[in-house]
Chains A and B, each alone.
Chain A
Amino acid sequence: MWALLTRDLRLAMRAGGGFGLGLAFFLLVAVLVPLGVGPEGGMLGRIAPGILWVGALLACLLSLDRIFALDFEDGSLDLLATSPMPLEAVVAVKAFAHWLVTGLPLTVAAPVLAVLLNLPVEGYGWLVLSLLLGTPALSVIGAFGAALVVGVKRGGLLLSLLVLPLYVPTLIFGAEAVKRGAAGQAVDVPLLLLAAITLGAGAMLPFAAAAAIRVNLR
């Protein structure tokens, strides 16, 4: 398992692209939205939680199709499926690697971008905490979607169509937590629900994703 994790991380570093692209996209969203809606600080502060969460979600989506597609094309997935490592563990490890190279950097970068969007000071801590709790769910759900379309050529668009509806609860609870935090209200309920989604998705979806991969390999 450790071997697979270090391999995926090493590949992400060496191939360049994947690591920085998501962050750059996240930055672009934070720059483009004020240009679109106008510079008025109060309004930006109000919509900042939603923009940041939607931005993180789309940035995460960018690199999803690489989770399994590359391994499928070069035959690694066949070989992993016949290896002693259970496919469920392969999915879990690869989703975790995806989170380390996208979700975690996004979480770290989010407070900087929150400055651009004039997020109220009270919201910063909750922003980081909600992303920390919620982005792993984005990676696991995304890995499930990627497993479904791994056999489809040019499945990127299809992947978005499948995955984005599944992101709805995570987005709602995540953005809601930041919104309430920024307004000085209690945030424990949305944060707990967010954590529940991450834990539930992490526990169940690797099985569904592994089943989908087995079907796609036949």
Chain B
Amino acid sequence: MLSVEGLAVARGGIAVLEGVTFRLAAGRALILRGPNGVGKTTLLRTIAGLQPALEGSVSVPAEAMAYAAHADGLKAALTVEENLRFWAAIHGTREVEQALAGMDLLALRDRRAANLSAGQKRRLGLARLLVTGRAVWLLDEPTVSLDAASVALFAGVVRGHLAGGGAVLAATHIDLGLAEAEVLDLSPFRAKAPAAGGRRGDFDEAFA
């Protein structure tokens, strides 16, 4: 479903990861691990198409990916339901009710996002994934500020998504409680300095 081939990504003009290769089949989850600053967020943003890859390729069916970043893209002045309806309308889907129920937000539906706790905001941000109707979820630290019960709730949502033929690629330090998920450690893919055999060519020769 998602296939990444020899991907090299850069942050601030400097290569951080290179040669990243993996495949993600429908119904599978892959957890990205690695120390802070190794380039997990950069890798996810590159796969999501928000920034260009230095080299390598990402192949995925058109409009199949839903990206969830650190920031949830919530509008404080809108209610929970309005926030979710907006994203559903943008993606042309109608599953707002199921999403509210899935992330246990039914009781909060008329509350303004400004008055939500950090954990509740996060749940709303994750509920957005359900209304995108997209198959491949790219999650960047999805469980930040969630309590144990909410993490379990989210794990259940992810299982449901996988069972429905979806796929999940998540960067996280926290155990999601997904025993079936594979783990990819990014440390071995750290980009080497050009002198040590980098291959960015002429540009680096002159500029570094």
Contacts and interface: CB of A to CB of B under 8 A. Distances in A.
Contact present between A and B (CB < 8 A): yes
A143 to B, nearest CB: 19
A10 B63 CA distance: 28
A150 to B, nearest CB: 14
Interface string B103-144: 000000000000000000000000010001000000000000
A43 B66 CA distance: 61
A84 B90 contact: yes
B72 A218 contact: no
Range of interface residues on A (Cβ < 8 Å): 20 to 34
Interface residues of B, number: 28
Contacts, number: 66
A77 B177 CA distance: 31
Nearest to A81: B50
Chain B interface mostly: loop
Interface in A126-182: none
Contact of A75 (B48, B69, B77, B91): B69
Contacts of A82: 48-50, 65-67
Nearest to B132: A83
A76 interface: yes
Contacts of B85: 3
Given A11-B78, A217-B51, A218-B51, A83 B90 contact: yes
A79 B48 CA distance: 10
Interface of A: 2-4, 7, 10-11, 14-15, 71, 73-76, 78-85, 217-218
Interface of B: 48-52, 63, 65-67, 69-75, 77-78, 82, 85-87, 89-92, 128, 132
